């Protein structure tokens, strides 16, 4: 069967003919792949030849945002059955550290984890995949056609989950009984700024808006760009950051309450990310999810930075990857996102390619690009 990935020592994508996988253990699930989303990490791996290929192997199959249909199950599998639409989690724990043993490999302490389509393990840009039941999550019927967004939404779920857990240190953040960080309507009275209106930024915006936060989203595209349109579709405000200094951007976002409760970085632009730190509000949180490439030296006032973080009880937190819990949260919230901001998720897909057309799927993207989806076995 056809699989798409990279060969050791090369840049660019290749196709391979690989054997059809088989169920070998009682807890395994055979999945016919339907769609796989591509993200910035995939494009960077291909462009810069960053594939992390397992020792003793010469290639790796890419793709980690996969949705498929269960074809067959091992004798011990209970949570899914043939015909179910499912998504597959990405990281497999190191088997040594406590977080991994507690099914929280997203917080792995040793770094010796593997990831499907990213680190050592074959990904999902292929026709069939086998995985263990604990890594396979059933998709509710209402969001079958949107399930390709589960993995990126799970990344954002984890970031927001971290932010709510940490900020629950502020039970007095306002005097409404339902606006505490651990309540469902936690976003009430909060102002958030999302940096970057790519897929992760837009998905973060959807969760912040669901929770009721005033949300501003900045990017470096004009206000007529589709990204800005999608921001407005969620009743969030788009800000073209090319026309504003960091100070002006924060002043603008602070208009409703005088404070900026949350900064959510989803662009991976290191200098932009650092430039906003001096403008954090008291007791506020800054969640970083974007991963910059390469090196960047900049000059900053270190004394001022440390003084500010200490004196203002500020939190700067990084968040990467996600575990099964976040996939389940993503599928649950996807139903709500789809109801409240109908059409937004579908509109994010700007490019669709068949698996056979993998060279173009990984090809140059124009300025209008938001999300690429590779169709392996199209929904009828």
| Interface with Zn ion, residue 184, by CB under 5 A | no
Smallest distance, Zn ion to C-beta of residue 91, A: 9
Q: What are the φ and ψ backbone dihedral angles of 341, each rounded to 5 degrees? A: -120, 60
Candidates 89-97, 129-137, 283-291, 340-348: pick the segment binding Zn ion (CB under 5 A): 89-97
Instruction: Between 176 and 336, name the residue whose CB sits nearer to Zn ion.
Output: 176
| Interface with Zn ion, residue 94, by CB under 5 A | yes
Smallest distance, Zn ion to C-beta of residue 96, A: 6
Candidates 159-167, 181-189, 263-271, 363-371: pick the segment binding Zn ion (CB under 5 A): 181-189
| Interface with Zn ion, residue 100, by CB under 5 A | yes
| Interface with Zn ion, residue 192, by CB under 5 A | no
Residue 319: HSE in the Cβ half-sphere, 13 Å Cα cutoff? 31
Give residue for tokens 């060969």.
7
Binding mask 102-121 for Zn ion (x = CB under 5 A): ------x-x-----------
Inter-residue contact 323 to 91 (CB < 8 Å): yes
Question: How many whole angstroms from its chain centre is CA 212?
Answer: 21
Binding mask 48-87 for Zn ion (x = CB under 5 A): ----------------------------------------
Smallest distance, Zn ion to C-beta of residue 189, A: 3
| Interface with Zn ion, residue 176, by CB under 5 A | yes
The C-alpha atoms of residue 58 and residue 112 are separated, in whole angstroms, by: 20
Q: What does the block give as tokens for 279?
A: 């403008």
Q: 71: alpha, beta or left, given left = phi > 0 and alpha = psi -120 to 50?
A: alpha
Other CB atoms within 10 Å distance of the CB of residue 301: 10
Q: Which helix (H) or strand (E) holds 179?
A: none
Other CB atoms within 10 Å distance of the CB of residue 288: 22
| Interface with Zn ion, residue 97, by CB under 5 A | yes
Q: What does the block give as tokens for 45?
A: 């791996």
The C-alpha atoms of residue 346 and residue 373 are separated, in whole angstroms, by: 11
Inter-residue contact 14 to 5 (CB < 8 Å): yes
Smallest distance, Zn ion to C-beta of residue 175, A: 7
Candidates 20-28, 40-48, 100-108, 203-211: pick the segment binding Zn ion (CB under 5 A): 100-108
The C-alpha atoms of residue 86 and residue 69 are separated, in whole angstroms, by: 6
Smallest distance, Zn ion to C-beta of residue 98, A: 8
Inter-residue contact 158 to 319 (CB < 8 Å): yes
| Interface with Zn ion, residue 170, by CB under 5 A | no
Smallest distance, Zn ion to C-beta of residue 105, A: 6
| Interface with Zn ion, residue 262, by CB under 5 A | no
| Interface with Zn ion, residue 179, by CB under 5 A | yes
Which residues of the chain form contacts with Zn ion (CB under 5 A)?
Answer: 94, 97, 100, 108, 110, 174, 176, 179, 188-189
């Amino acid at each position: 069967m056809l699989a798409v990935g990279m060969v050791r020592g090369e840049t660019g994508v290749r196709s391979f003919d690989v054997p059809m996988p088989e169920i070998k253990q009682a807890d395994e699930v055979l999945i016919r792949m339907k769609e796989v989303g591509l993200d910035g990490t995939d494009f960077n791996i291909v462009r810069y030849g960053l594939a992390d290929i397992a020792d003793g192997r010469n290639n790796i199959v890419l793709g980690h945002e996969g949705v498929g249909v269960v074809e067959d199950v091992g004798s011990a599998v209970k949570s899914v059955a043939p015909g179910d639409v499912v998504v597959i989690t990405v990281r497999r724990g190191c088997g040594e550290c406590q977080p991994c043993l507690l099914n929280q490999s997203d917080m792995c302490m040793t770094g010796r984890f593997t990831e499907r389509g990213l680190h050592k393990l074959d990904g999902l840009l292929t026709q069939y995949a086998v995985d263990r039941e604990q890594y396979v999550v059933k998709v509710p019927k209402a969001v079958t056609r949107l399930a390709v967004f589960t993995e990126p939404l799970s990344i954002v779920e984890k970031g927001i989950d971290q932010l709510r857990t940490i900020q629950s240190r502020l039970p007095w953040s306002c005097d409404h009984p339902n606006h505490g960080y651990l309540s469902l309507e936690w976003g009430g009275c909060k102002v958030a700024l999302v940096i970057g209106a790519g897929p992760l930024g837009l998905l973060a915006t959807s969760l912040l808006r669901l929770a009721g936060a005033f949300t501003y989203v900045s990017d470096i595209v004009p206000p007529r760009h589709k990204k800005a349109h999608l921001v407005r579709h969620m009743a969030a405000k788009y800000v073209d950051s090319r026309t504003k200094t960091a100070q002006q951007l924060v002043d603008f976002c602070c208009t409703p309450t005088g404070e900026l409760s949350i900064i959510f970085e989803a662009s991976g632009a290191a200098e932009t990310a650092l430039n906003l730190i001096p403008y954090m509000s008291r007791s506020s949180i800054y969640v970083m999810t974007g991963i910059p490439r390469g090196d960047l030296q900049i000059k900053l006032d270190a004394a001022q930075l440390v003084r500010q973080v200490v004196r203002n009880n500020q939190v700067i937190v990084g968040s990467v990857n996600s575990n099964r819990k976040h996939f389940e949260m993503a599928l649950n919230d996807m139903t709500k996102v789809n109801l409240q901001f109908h059409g937004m998720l579908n509109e994010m897909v700007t490019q669709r390619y068949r698996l056979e057309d993998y060279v173009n799927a990984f090809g140059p993207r124009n300025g209008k690009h938001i999300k690429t989806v590779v169709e392996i076995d199209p929904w009828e």
